[in-house]
Amino acid sequence: MSRIRAISFDLDDTLWPSGPVLEAAEGIFYQQLESLAPRLVARYSAQALRQQRLALLREQPALRHQISEWRRLSLEIALRDCGYGEQSQRLAATAFQHFIEARQQVQLYDHVESVLAELSTHYVLVSLTNGNADLLRQPCSRHFRACLKAEDIGTSKPEAAAFHAALAAADCSAEELLHIGDHPRDDIDGAKALGLKTVQALMPGSERPRHLGADGHFSDWRELPALLRQLDQDV
């Protein structure tokens, strides 16, 4: 078997905790709507807007690969339902812009920056996320050859096409790529289905169940270099 030449990384709950930043972004999003569209806020609570978004996804499942457009479009529909007419598209775009800016205010887990710097001297690094956090906005992106988002490549994990995009970006074979992420289905099952090696991130505060089929697990980024060396020796 081939040695590991490249690593693809999930972002949310792997490089940083997603809960706090998403909660803050949702709060800013709804706060903006209170001033931009009071008639909508009178009709929809934040939870009701979420349910409306989920209903739209059930009607248009392809939007799961385009989560930014999903949020913007669902809001535009709600605004039109509340009588905002031709203003709806502009108002939705404005509210979404506040959300997506807040969405980028992530805080890396401890030691991520130093470990990525070390790993980048031995492996090609790429990121692969279903979310709309933009790794290019973070200083640590300098360690990555490519930063792939589902809404840019038109497919999302666990679909094989998402991992094929990572393989193409890393310019390596499936036997040479290891995928690291927290989600049992999207990250571990999706990658294993293509024959990739996998490591599951189980960071403090994460509620993800431990995937017994992963090739390794870590809960502290300082554990990762030694774990990867061990996996390479096991090849």
Query: Higher model confidence: residue 234 or residue 87?
Result: 87
Question: Using one digit for the tens of pLDDT, what is the confidence trace for 131-142?
Answer: 999 999 999 999
- Quote the pLDDT of residue 118: 97
Question: Using one digit for the tens of pLDDT, what is the confidence trace for 6-51?
Answer: 999 999 999 999 999 999 999 999 999 999 999 999 999 999 999 9
Residue 235 pLDDT exceeds 60: no
User: Cα–Cα distance between 94 and 89 in angstroms, integer?
Assistant: 9
Sheet containing 146-149: order of strands? 146-149, 124-129, 6-9, 177-181, 197-201, 216-218
Quote the pTM value: 0.94
- What percentage of the chain has pLDDT greater than the value 90? 96
What is the average pLDDT value for the chain, to the nearest integer?
A: 96
Name 6's bridge partners: 124, 177
Residue 1 pLDDT exceeds 80: no
Buried b (16+ CB within 10 A) or exposed e, 26-41: bebbbebbeebbeebb
What CATH number does domain 6-18+106-233 carry, 3.20.20.140, 3.40.50.1000, 3.20.20.100, 3.40.50.720?
A: 3.40.50.1000
- Quote the pLDDT of residue 233: 80
Residue 66 pLDDT exceeds 80: yes
Question: Using one digit for the tens of pLDDT, what is the confidence trace for 164-195?
Answer: 999 999 999 999 999 999 999 999 999 999 99
- What percentage of the chain has pLDDT greater than the value 70? 99
Domain ranges of the chain: 6-18+106-233, 20-103
Q: Is 23 left (phi over 0), alpha (psi -120 to 50) or beta?
A: alpha
- Quote the pLDDT of residue 232: 86
- Quote the pLDDT of residue 73: 98
Cα 102–106–107 angle (5° rounding)? 145
- What backbone torsions phi and psi does residue 25 show, to the nearest 5 degrees? -65, -40
- Quote the pLDDT of residue 206: 86
Both tokens of residue 163?
Answer: 């991992």
- Quote the pLDDT of residue 2: 67
User: What average pLDDT does this structure show over 76-102?
Assistant: 98
Which CATH architecture does the domain made up of 20-103 adopt? Answer: Up-down Bundle (1.20)
